[in-house]
Amino acid sequence: MRRKARHLVVLCSALFALITMSTVEAQAAARPVPVTAGDKYALQSVGAGGLYVSAEVDTGGDGEGMLRARTTADSVDDLGSWEKFTLHTDDKGWTATLRSEGNGNYVTTERNDAGTHENLLRARGATVGEWEKLHLKKQADGTYALSAWTDDGYKYVSAEMEDSDTDRGLLRARSDSVGSWEKFRLVYLGEENASDQGPRPAPAAPATSADFRVMTWNVCANHNGDCLNHRVDGAALGSQIAARLGSGAGQYRAVFLQELCESHAKAIERALEEATSSGWDVRFAPIKFDVDGSSVKAARTCDNAGSESAGWTDRGSYGIALAVPDSNVWYTSYDLPSPKNRTIGDTWVRMEQRTALCAVLPAQALQFCTAHFSAGVAQDDADGTKRREQAAMLQDIVHSYTPAGYRTVYGGDFNSVPPDSASPDTPKDVVTLAYAADRECDEGRSADRIRDGRATKPLGTRNIKIDYLFAPSDATVLSCDVTADAGRSDHYPIQARVVLPAR
């Protein structure tokens, strides 16, 4: 983000915050605290009398990042980054992994340590592997036991409250049963992928006319091994996106992206700033899974970048992103209604929990929203029930949740064909409400199939349209380009020039 005029204000605020913080909080603030999208939690030990678990990121040597039940707080607002964790999953919710907000590392069970540090929990994992996976087991009283795989089989994590001073309260996977030392409360702290500035600010009134470009593209950069973007890093993906904007990059006000990774966001932001010579924000929201044995969701991790021979690089969570000029002051994500985990045949199938993401430019009375709906496959939303619900909720977000005065442009990968599509694919009524309320980029190209458009998804035997850009019904769409070139993705991008009248 290019907000140079605000740097002095931000610096002064940071210095004041350090003066007023406790010693522990000041130590944490002195380190670069990672911003991790997803639901944030604190772990509160029952056996330790309600002490919160801290990742001691300033401890040196083999103790660096060790987890200890030791922090008291009158309110969760008093907790620092050392006590905050996000939940991730590398296996669609069979297990969960804790990621420390104190140093950005994943919590690892130290199987190779000895003595009182055998199977110690430490925030030091750079990627998610078997040592980072925990089973969450909800107890009858609403607390959780954490189960980790060790060299001696599965063991419950204990807060060692009777150990000596240096080891007191350390978390170790060593118990065969659940007592008070093995019980933890998962205290929900909110989400990182939302503004902390309350509801949407009021838009400028009257709203002036606006002439701008917008693009949506499923970049296929997460788990699909058939895509050339499968393990791409942020710099390479940012270059692809900026290249798609072309010579008119400076005219863009929003870029909607699906199937990318959390680590891509800042690199894409830099690429857009270089291409446009202006400031950008790239907001990211993860797609989640319900975690087995729990009542919580975890953000699914992307496949790592790199290779086994060259080494793996973590890319964070998988999800969607919204790039807008850095004049935006408010953004939030929404959990969309999604299929629940269920048995299909003889297999327990874990379902992706989909999301939508919006940001506003109040001075221009503009709102931009993107979403990625469920897939129409047997292991997701075969009959379209949830996609219809997702589409209905997106309409509520765009029209009911949004204060009067905002003009909203929205789109993304809706995994559904248009109502007038000639394709045999069904259902065809998922986006009917959107066509009734707003104007789609490619709408009206064919007189006999008004609610249709050019294909955005090339398949082996046919091509179909499942990606969309919608603008208000009074908008003028000056151009709508669908270039039949997926590049390293498996989708074609849609790029439009939209003119909104003054209101």
Q: What is the rounded average pLDDT of the residues 283-291? A: 96
Same domain, 210 and 98: no
- pTM of structure: 0.91
Same domain, 412 and 318: yes
Same domain, 164 and 206: no
Crossing angle of the two packed helices 264-276 and 234-245, in degrees rounded to 10: 40
Residue 166 has pLDDT above 80, yes or no: yes
Question: Residue 173: which domain range?
Answer: 34-190
Mean pLDDT of the chain: 91
Q: What is the pLDDT of residues 174-224, one digit of tens each?
A: 999 999 999 999 999 988 788 877 889 999 999 999 999 999 999 999 999
Q: Which residues pair with 87 in a beta bridge?
A: 98
Same domain, 180 and 218: no
228 lies in some domain: yes
Question: What pLDDT is stored for residue 61 in this prediction?
Answer: 87
d(CA 362, CA 389): 28
3 lies in some domain: no
Residue 26 has pLDDT above 50, yes or no: no
Domain-ending residue, one of 150, 171, 190: 190
Number of domains comprising the chain: 2
Residue 32 has pLDDT above 90, yes or no: no
Question: What pLDDT is stored for residue 18 in this prediction?
Answer: 32
6 lies in some domain: no
317 lies in some domain: yes
Q: How confident is the model at residue 247 (pLDDT cuts 50, 70, 90)?
A: very high
Write the CATH number for 108.
Answer: 2.80.10.50
Q: What is the pLDDT of residues 314-345, one digit of tens each?
A: 999 999 999 999 999 899 999 999 999 999 99
Q: What is the rounded average pLDDT of the residues 360-372? A: 97
Same domain, 345 and 454: yes
Same domain, 335 and 364: yes
Same domain, 387 and 485: yes
Question: What pLDDT is stored for residue 35 in this prediction?
Answer: 54
Same domain, 92 and 232: no
386 lies in some domain: yes
Which phi-psi region, left, alpha or beta, contains residue 211 (left: φ > 0; alpha: ψ -120 to 50)?
Answer: beta
Rg of the chain's alpha carbons, rounded to an integer?
24
Same domain, 180 and 223: no
Same domain, 139 and 287: no
Q: Cα-flanking dihedrals φ and ψ of residue 20, to 5°?
A: -90, -5
- Better-scored residue on pLDDT, 1 or 474: 474
Same domain, 173 and 287: no
Domain-ending residue, one of 157, 190, 223: 190
357 lies in some domain: yes
Secondary structure (3-state) at 388: helix
17 lies in some domain: no
8 Å CB contact between 185 and 135: no
Write the CATH number for 263.
Answer: 3.60.10.10
238 lies in some domain: yes
| Closest to 185 measured CA to CA, from 107, 83, 116, 287 | 83
Residue 88 has pLDDT above 50, yes or no: yes
Question: What pLDDT is stored for residue 1 in this prediction?
Answer: 60
Same domain, 384 and 444: yes
Domain-ending residue, one of 163, 190, 217: 190
Q: What is the rounded average pLDDT of the residues 472-498? A: 97
- Alpha carbon separation from 364 to 330, 498, 503 (Å, rounded): 13, 14, 11
